């Protein structure tokens, strides 16, 4: 069965649109873009489109290449003290600006991406936190299709700070038994074959082949590799779709869920702000 991220995204957004309207939530997202990165512009346009579609205001702060770290910090500080719901500092930023330093200045309760030290520390402690959007999107997708997490053997390939590492903490907090594999892992196929849920987040085209997948398992493909304008995932979908019981397409699986979780986090943050 295909885990249809677009369908689930649309259902989630339609529920959130209704909630925002009926509870009269006044939500504003501030997005800071520094420099001229083309991919970032596309990502921001996409975030803006979905925010507007559910009634969330978006304020964009666009800095040119020559902006200084102080310029960025000044705006973050002003936004922290304002009534705005959430702030995103779009990555990457030009050389000379320390992304981690700047993004860590965002107040944890306004940190839509869930990457500030406080939010990650809460995740580490298993306390309530704002989850990184891709991590939350994967969990919501599993929950939507009623795929059990508690007690399952989960293998995550890729230990990046955006997906693999925080995802391992989040799933551990949900009582999964998690193995985190990476480029130095020996006998990767032997480990992945043991997975009830196999999640690959490496950006290595078709790293996961059919001999690495357990029959009847769930396979989630997070990776994105662009070759000649075409997008490839980490998973050899065509040869695995008949072995796995559940599998995400790529594109069309995790990506749409990530965008939906930006909105989900914003609604959660505005509701918490209002007590």
Which positions are catalytic? 47, 90, 113
- Shortest Cβ 208–ligand NAP spacing (Å): 9
Given 164, 168, 199, 262, the residue binding ligand NAP (CB under 6 A):
164
Q: Which is nearer to ligand NAP, 25 or 51 (CB)?
A: 51
- Shortest Cβ 22–ligand NAP spacing (Å): 29
Q: What CA–CA distances, in Å, run from 191 to 93, 211, 212? A: 37, 11, 8
Token pair for residue 222? 């997070």
Q: What is the spatial distance between Cα 121 and Cα 137, in angstroms, rounded to a whole number?
A: 20
Neighbours of 95 (CB within 10 A): 8
Q: What is the spatial distance between Cα 231 and Cα 262, in angstroms, rounded to a whole number?
A: 22
- Shortest Cβ 203–ligand NAP spacing (Å): 3
Residue 254 in contact with ligand NAP, rule: CB under 6 A? yes
Q: Tokens 């990506």 map to which residue? A: 255
Q: Which is nearer to ligand NAP, 114 or 158 (CB)?
A: 158
Q: What is the spatial distance between Cα 100 and Cα 97, in angstroms, rounded to a whole number?
A: 9
Please return the burial class of 260, using the count of CB atoms within 10 Å of its CB with bins 0-12, 13-18 and 19+. Answer: buried
Site string for ligand NAP, 188-227 (x = CB under 6 A): -------------xxxx--x--------------xxx---
Which residues sit at the interface with ligand NAP, rule CB under 6 A?
134, 157-160, 162-164, 181-184, 201-204, 207, 222-224, 254-255, 258
């Amino acid at each position: 069965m295909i885990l249809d991220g677009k369908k689930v995204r649309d259902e989630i957004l339609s529920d959130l649109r209704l909630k925002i309207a009926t509870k009269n939530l006044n939500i504003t997202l501030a997005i800071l873009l520094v420099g001229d990165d083309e991919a970032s512009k596309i990502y921001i346009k996409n975030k803006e489109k979905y925010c507007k579609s559910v009634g969330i205001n978006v304020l964009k702060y666009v800095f040119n290449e020559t902006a200084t770290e102080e310029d960025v910090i000044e705006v973050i500080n002003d936004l922290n003290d304002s009534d705005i719901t959430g702030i995103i500092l779009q990555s990457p930023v030009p050389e000379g600006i320390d992304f981690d330093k700047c993004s860590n200045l965002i107040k944890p309760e306004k940190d839509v991406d869930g990457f500030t030290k406080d939010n990650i520390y809460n995740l580490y402690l298993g306390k309530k936190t704002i989850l990184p959007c891709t991590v939350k999107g994967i969990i919501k997708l599993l929950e939507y299709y009623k795929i059990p997490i508690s007690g399952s053997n989960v293998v995550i390939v890729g230990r990046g700070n955006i997906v693999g590492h925080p995802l391992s903490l989040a799933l551990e907090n949900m009582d999964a038994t998690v193995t985190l594999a990476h480029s130095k892992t020996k006998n990767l196929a032997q480990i992945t074959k043991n997975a009830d849920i196999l999640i690959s987040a490496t950006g290595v085209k078709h790293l996961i082949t059919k001999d690495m997948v357990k029959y009847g398992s769930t396979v989630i493909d997070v990776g994105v590799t662009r070759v000649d304008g075409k997008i490839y995932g980490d998973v050899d979908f065509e040869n695995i779709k008949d072995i796995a019981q559940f599998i995400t397409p790529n594109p069309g699986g995790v990506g749409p869920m990530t965008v939906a979780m930006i909105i989900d986090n914003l609604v959660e943050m505005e509701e918490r702000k209002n007590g």
